[in-house]
Amino acid sequence: MLKKVLFVCVENSFRSQIAEAYFNKYAPSGWAATSAGLTPAEEVHQNAVRLMLEEGIDISRKKPQILTRDLQEKVDVAVIVCSSNLCPVVYTRHVEEWNTPDPAKMPLDEARKIRDSIKTKVLDLIERVKSGQQP
């Protein structure tokens, strides 16, 4: 049975989309990721698309989706990637909080650092999952 990770932020347009894309690119067998937000944006932020294209990952066709109770109940791990009091509360077996600053209004060079930080955290999560550690 496929195990799932849910990446959550407010608009599901930048941080959570990047985390989902990295996880799915490097996911161990039997694992997959999705992402959602409390108040989803109309589209994925253009800088997120640009930064992920630099990594060879195209997220231009992704659509932000709303965080539902049903979605939360179907995942094994949830990761809250945002860092404000607007971040959603997630109800699932295991929840991590990464407290990642919002890159949406940052210059591209600063946003790139956030992307790289998310990649490092995703790869760490994948290593923990692969080694059988509690994520």
Residues known to be catalytic: 9, 82, 87
Contact 35, 16 (CB under 8 A): yes
SS3 category, 66: strand
Residue among 118, 114, 77, 82 nearest 94 (CA): 77
What letter does residue 67 receive in the DSSP assignment?
-
Burial 35-68 (b: 16+ CB within 10 A, else e): bbbbebbeebbebbbebbeeeeeebeebebeebe
Determine the Cα–Cα distance for residues 74 and 1; give it in Å rounded to an integer: 12
